Amino acid sequence: MNKRRFDRLLRWSGWTLLVLLLLAPACTPKENNTQSEERSEHLVLLTDAARWPEGRLAALKDSLQDENFRVVVSGYPGERTDELLARLPWLLQPGIDLMLVDPDFLSPAGVDSLKTFLAERGQPQIKVTSLVR
């Protein structure tokens, strides 16, 4: 390549770079000034669904969903604490933030076992709260 062509190429690429630098701010995406949507929390309600009056459990679930919770109801009639703890890894897969425990379903000792289980599993950030009926 002769010197003259090389100089023209350098000049042209310099101008191109300058134009790109001037246009770059106009090409950047517009800032999003809108507030981000509230993140929904994942909640597991541990209860015996058979013990609830008809429609009451559905109403509770609906009210929790209105408060931006994603609700999973879990519990079987006559289930023991060890059976519940055996099923917990499956319940925790989606990433649970809060567990509401029905005191008629799980005793205070069972709630303590649940908290210990979560701490041993490395998930102490999950809040465990008793449900007030």
pLDDT the model gives residue 38? 56
What does the pLDDT average to over 43-72? 83
pLDDT the model gives residue 102? 83
114 neighbors 99 (Cβ within 8 angstroms): yes
Per residue in 81-118, pLDDT (tens digit) is 678 778 877 777 666 788 888 888 788 888 888 888 88
- The sheet that has 69-74: what strands, in order across it? 69-74, 41-46, 98-101, 127-130
pLDDT the model gives residue 57? 85
- The domain spans of the chain are 41-130
Could you tell me the fold of the domain covering 41-130?
A: Rossmann fold (3.40.50)
Separation of alpha carbons 81 and 114, rounded Å: 9
Sign of CA dihedral 66, 105, 107, 87: negative
pLDDT higher for 34 or 45?
45
Query: According to DSSP H, which parts of the chain are helical?
Result: 3-27, 56-66, 81-92, 108-120
Is the pLDDT assigned to residue 60 strictly greater than 80?
yes
Query: Which of the four pLDDT bands, split at 50, 70 and 90, describes residue 74?
Result: confident
